[in-house]
Structure 1
C-alpha cells in the first residue's frame, strides 16, 4: 500500500547527538537503523528509525513477511518479493509534489552477497555464521539530523487510514522526548578523546590469529587464482578472508569507535533482533536521484601519508602504478557495462575519472559512472544490474564468482553485498557492505578482500587484507577495553 500523508515536526539542534537519540530509541525496539554520512562535513547528516511496521526476510532462499508480529511465508522468488516490497511503498499520486524532498522514512535493509545465487547459477559454500540472506524493513517514522541547518526533523508517513492516528501520536511523542534530551548537555563521561585512540597500539599479529584462513593458505589460493588468469578464465577475482573476533562490549560502543576511527560516506548500524550489522563503507553501489543512476567503482589503495607531503607522494605513486590503474580501468568498464543494461541508450558517461579520495587510514582511486535510468526498471532492479559489485567479485563477473565460491571456505553472508535505503519520496541509495562488522552471540565477524590479477604478489595481497580489516578490528578492541562503558564520540 502506497504512502498517503506526511506529518513533520522539527527543532533546533542544541545538545542532542544522533547516537544519543538512537541509544534512547532503540531500547524500545528489537529492530532499528542508524544511517550517517560523516566523511564530508558540508554533507554530513544522520537519520534513524525504530519499530518497523513490516519486515521482509529471506532465509535460506525462502521468503517471510512479518506484519505487527505475525509472520507468513510467501511462496515466490526472493528478488521479485524484495522489488515489490520496495516499489509498493513509494509515494501515492497525492504525494507526488513531495518527490525529491527529503522525506527520510522508507525501506532500510541489506542483501547479502550470497543473494547472487538467485540471479546466477553459482553454488555457494556452507555458511559458518547464522545470518539471513536479506532483510528489508519498513519505517514509517524517522528522525533526521541536518547538521548544515542545525535541525532535527521528525517525519511520520501514513501508510493507510488505520495508521493515521498512531503515526501522529508517535511523531508527537518523539518530538517531546527528543526535545527534552536536546536540552540536557552530554556528561563528560561520554566525551571521546581522539588522542586516546591514537595512543593505542594495535597488533596485526593478533588480528591474524582470528582469521579463518592464515597467510600460507591465502598465498596458495592467490596462486590458484593467478593460474585461472593464465588459463584465460578471468582477468581478476576478489578473494577475501573472514576474521572472528571476541566482542565483550556493547555493539553501540563498537560503532562509536568505528565512526571515530573511520568516518565514511556510508556509516550504517542495523539492529536486527539478536544481531547487529554495522559498517563504514566508502563505496556507492548504486544511487538514484529520480532521474540518474550512479555507481562509484573504487580500486587501487595506498595507506595515508605521515604528513601532507608524504600523502601527496603516495597519491602520485598510486596513480602511476600500472597494476593499480589497470585494475581500476577494468572495473570502470564493468561498471559502465552494468549501468548500460538499465539506462537509456547513449546516456552512460563518466562524471569523474580516476580521482583520489582520502579516508582516515587509506586512499583510493575513485571514478563515477552515470546513466539516465530506463523507464523499464525500478531502482531496485537497476541496483541488481550492478550486484554484486565488480570490486567485490571480479571480471568477467560470473566466472570470477564461481572461482570465489570454489576457493573461499565459507559463504560470505553480508560481506560484499549491499546496504540500501529506499525513501518514500523516491530516493534510492545503496553502498557495498565492506569495512563492516556483523555481531552475533558476542562474536564480531569482519571480512576483507583484495583483487587478484596476473602480477599480484601473494604476500602483498595478504597484507592489503590485514590493512583493510584493521579499522573494524581497532573499533572492537577499543570498545572491549571500555568494558561496555560508552565513552563514545559526541555525534
Structure 2
C-alpha cells in the first residue's frame, strides 16, 4: 500500500533540480518535467519515480500482453518505456538494421519512492511508508547542492547517412508515394558517437535548459539513459477520455521578432506542412476508433501552432471516449507506434522505413510515461532525445521529417539538421 504525505515547496524550480540530483543514487530513475509550459491536459508539473520494487523487461514477443498483465496485477504506479520495435508484436514486421544501443524493447518498473509536484504542493507516495524515511529523504533533497560542471572533451558526432545518401533515400521515398504505395513517410537518420563518456545528468540539464519542452524526460535503467527534450504527447488516458496530440510541421525560431512571427505565420499557412499534419490526423482518428465509443472520435484543434525555444510546431489534438470492454493497454496497442513517427498507411510505411533507414530505431520514436493505479496514463513521443549506453560508451540521437509528394529532399535535409542542433550543441559538436 502507498501512503501519501503532502508538503509545501518554497521554490519549485530549485526543488525540481535538487530532486533530480538526489535521485541519481538509484539504479532506476524517471524524471518528468513540464517546464511550466501552458497545457490544457496536465496533471503535474513534475513527476519523479525511483528505485524499482518490481519491474518487467522484455523483447517485442508478447510485449503488450506482458505489460497488460503487469499493469492489471500490480494496480499501482508504473513507469517506463515502449520502444518503436514493439510494432513487431502487433504486425508481421521485423527490425534487422544496425543497433548500437541494445536497449530492451520494453521496460517498466513499480517505484518504491514517488514524488508528484503541482505548483508549490508536493505529494510524496512511498511503498511501505515510514515517516522517518520520508522526512530524512526530504531533508536530503532540500539540502542537495548543485552538481559541479564537468568540462568533458567534446564528442565527435558522426552522421550515419551522408547528405548525398539522404537525398537519394528521400527521392526513393517520393517515388513510393508517386506510385501510390504510401501517402506519407516519416524518414529518420541517426547521429552517433563511439567511445563516448558523458555525464548524463549534466547533458540532460543542458538540453532541458535550451529547449524547455512540456514533456522533458530523464530516464535511467542501470547503464541505459534517455535524455529527452520532446515537445510531443503520444497518448493520455483521463477517465474514459483518450487524448492524442501528434506533431507534424516544423519551422525555425528567430531572435528577430518580425522574422520569428513571419516564420510562425508561414508554417500555419504552408500547404505541405498542413497536408502532412492532416494525413496523420486521419491516421490517428482511425487508430483511436478501434477502441472508441461510436461517434466519440473528435478533432478539437486542427493544425494549431505552438512555439518552443528551438522551433515552432504544428500540433493537432484528437480525443475519443474508450469503450468499457477495452483495457488501458489495449488503447496503446491499437495505436502504437504513433502515426506521427510512421506515415500512412501505417504498415506499408513501416515496411519502407525498414528498407530505407540504416539504424534500428529502438527507443527513439517510441514512448515514455506512466500508468496510475486506476489505469489512467500519459506518454510522450521520444524525439529530440539523446540515448546513451554507458557500458558500450555509445551515444545516439536521431532526427526525421515527414516525406510527402510535395517534399523537396534538400529542404527535408535542412529540417533534420535544424532538429539535430540542440542535441549536437549539448554534446559539444556545435558551438
The answer to whether TM tops 0.5 is: yes
Superposition deviation, residue 216 in structure 1:
0.4
**Structure 2, unaligned runs of 5 or more:** none
Q: Which residue of 2 aligns with 1:177?
A: 137
Q: Which residue of 2 aligns with 1:484?
A: none
Residues 36 and 45 of structure 2 are in contact (CA less than 8 Å); yes or no, is this contact kept in structure 1? no
Question: Secondary structure in 1 aligned to 2:411?
Answer: helix
Equivalence map 1:37-116=2 (5 Å): 37-40=34-37, 45-59=45-59, 61=60, 77-90=62-75, 106-116=77-87
Q: CA RMSD in A?
A: 2.4
Residues 78 and 110 of structure 2 are in contact (CA less than 8 Å); yes or no, is this contact kept in structure 1? yes
Residues 84 and 366 of structure 2 are in contact (CA less than 8 Å); yes or no, is this contact kept in structure 1? yes
Matches of 1:347 and 1:181, distance apart in 2: 45
Superposition deviation, residue 373 in structure 1:
0.8
Q: Which residue of 2 aligns with 1:70?
A: none
Question: Secondary structure in 1 aligned to 2:110?
Answer: strand
Residues 154 and 175 of structure 1 are in contact (CA less than 8 Å); yes or no, is this contact kept in structure 2? no
Residues 33 and 47 of structure 2 are in contact (CA less than 8 Å); yes or no, is this contact kept in structure 1? yes
Q: Which residue of 1 aligns with 2:88?
A: 117
Change (3 A) 1:120 1:258: same
Instruction: Indicate whether 1:218 and 2:166 are aligned.
Output: yes
Instruction: Indicate whether 1:153 and 2:104 are aligned.
Output: no
Residues 127 and 413 of structure 1 are in contact (CA less than 8 Å); yes or no, is this contact kept in structure 2? no
Superposition deviation, residue 143 in structure 1:
1.4
Matches of 1:321 and 1:307, distance apart in 2: 21
Question: Secondary structure in 2 aligned to 1:35?
Answer: strand
Question: Secondary structure in 1 aligned to 2:21?
Answer: helix
Change (3 A) 1:357 1:256: same
Instruction: Indicate whether 1:267 and 2:239 are aligned.
Output: no
Question: Secondary structure in 2 aligned to 1:317?
Answer: helix
Superposition deviation, residue 180 in structure 1:
4.6
Instruction: Indicate whether 1:168 and 2:138 are aligned.
Output: no
Superposition deviation, residue 185 in structure 1:
8.2
Matches of 2:246 and 2:192, distance apart in 1: 28
Superposition deviation, residue 118 in structure 1:
0.7
Within the candidate set 386, 389, 394, 2:338 is matched to: 389
Length, aligned pairs only: 419
Residues 349 and 371 of structure 1 are in contact (CA less than 8 Å); yes or no, is this contact kept in structure 2? yes
Question: Secondary structure in 2 aligned to 1:178?
Answer: helix
Equivalence map 1:239-254=2 (5 Å): 239-245=187-193, 247-254=196-203
Matches of 1:361 and 1:219, distance apart in 2: 24
Q: Which residue of 1 aligns with 2:381?
A: 432
- Please say which of residues 418-427 and 321-330 is displaced more in the overlay: 418-427
Change (3 A) 1:425 1:308: farther
Within the candidate set 136, 139, 153, 2:111 is matched to: 139
Superposition deviation, residue 156 in structure 1:
2.2
Matches of 1:384 and 1:176, distance apart in 2: 41
Q: Which residue of 1 aligns with 2:280?
A: 331
Change (3 A) 1:185 1:400: closer
Instruction: Deviation per CA, 1:359-390: give whole Å up to 9, x if none.
Output: 11101111100001111212221022221111
Instruction: Indicate whether 1:459 and 2:419 are aligned.
Output: no
Question: Secondary structure in 1 aligned to 2:216?
Answer: strand
Q: Which residue of 2 aligns with 1:477?
A: 428
Question: Secondary structure in 1 aligned to 2:358?
Answer: coil
Matches of 1:355 and 1:78, distance apart in 2: 34
